[in-house]
Structure 1
Amino acid sequence: MRDDAPPRQLAFDLPLDPRYGREDFLVGPANEAAYALVEAWPDWPDSVLMLTGPPGSGKSHLAAIWAERAHAWTIPAAEVRAEGVGHLVSNGALVVEDIHRPEGRDEAALFHLLNVARERAAPVLLTSAAGIDALGLATPDLRSRLRLAPGVGIEAPDDALLRAVLVKLFVDRQLVVDLGVIEAVALRIDRSLGLARDVVTELDRDALGRGRRISRPLALAVLRRLGLDGEADG
């Protein structure tokens, strides 16, 4: 190792608390319908609403915005159990996250929850990364109940929203980057907010480990390492 080479630093993988305030949610064509419906509460078309979108698209952020407005509790679908349904609904509003995950999912308990919530006119917001027909549900009554719930989806972001989210992700980590870094990343990744988040995390980790700021050459090197160098440079 050269004596004048900058020492590599230890990069600690510390968790970053996401900012889930209304002012932190960036609205674009991909999510404006979902945002408008969440903002329209309590004037919903039904007491149960299903919000779908790919991982990292902003479902949990929107759910958190609604939960604050409605004073709702939030629980993963895998933790819904029949014996606890009465307690969950007693709060008056509820978010049930990730109903697409089969691990630990109790379909009978979810069906019971939706029935009790409807009887008590308690609003429930369900989030899912897949539509009803792709959930692999074995309970016909639950499928039927979910089909009765109005649904709204979040689509892939357009280029402007993707760039705006990249800027926000860097700002959330208190990282200062120039426009060339944003463009390098935006041109080379799929239009996925989840992937944008993962790339920014990797760039932050790599820059910290090298003791260097995030420059465009460094961004390109990290993107190549991740296999995300499909666009021609320049």
Structure 2
Amino acid sequence: MMESLVLALELIARGDAELFGIATLSLRVSLSACVLAALLGLTLGAWLAVARFPGHRALVWAVNTLLALPSVVVGLLVYLLLSRSGPLGSWGILFTPKAMVIAQAILVTPMIAALSRRLVADALAGGGDQLIALGARPLTAALLMLVHERLATLTLLLTAFGRAVAEVGAVMIVGGNIAGVTRVMTTSIALETSKGDLPLALALGLVLLGVVGLIHSGVAMIPVRDKALRVAMA
């Protein structure tokens, strides 16, 4: 065990090309997925916070329920959509980083939508509804609240990124864990452990822990108001 750990630290210290290539791809895929999910999730969350229509509660319930959506189910659905016999098979992006971005985006969009809805609703209840009284459209006012509560918004986005970068099931299914193409940190750890290459698996695990640790440290250091922070991290 200690020998494997020492070898893992040596891989990190000398900047092993394979190790950091995998880490770079992981960060690129997860960051792209979170940007896409933020565009969709923040807009959906802001809209749900101010919209009132038949079935509104059911839609909010559905979004909250999707927070617990298993990643392997997301991977399976995206695989079926992008496979050759699927409706989007003509895109030809299965087993590519693009498919992995789509899967991770689907996985974290409900999280961003649910948390941003609660954040906007809380902000509006705290006096933000004055924008609507002054003539701003409800959705515009909701989006402005996200900008106003930008530190809390950043907190929930960092939380979503942390979930995306640590995800394994969906990217394994739609990416195929192809060396040099779709192999990311989580899938590599699973593969190298099964192969018995513990030094590389441990090195990847340490890098992944470092990334997640930095994310959560960043979240903890954001000087956001206590109430907004509780909403974002609930």
Confirm or deny a common fold (TM above 0.5).
Answer: no
Structure having the higher helix fraction is: 2
- Give TM-score, length-normalised by structure 2: 0.25
| Greater RCO (CA < 8 Å, at least 6 residues apart) | 2
Structure having the higher strand fraction is: 1
- Give TM-score, length-normalised by structure 1: 0.25
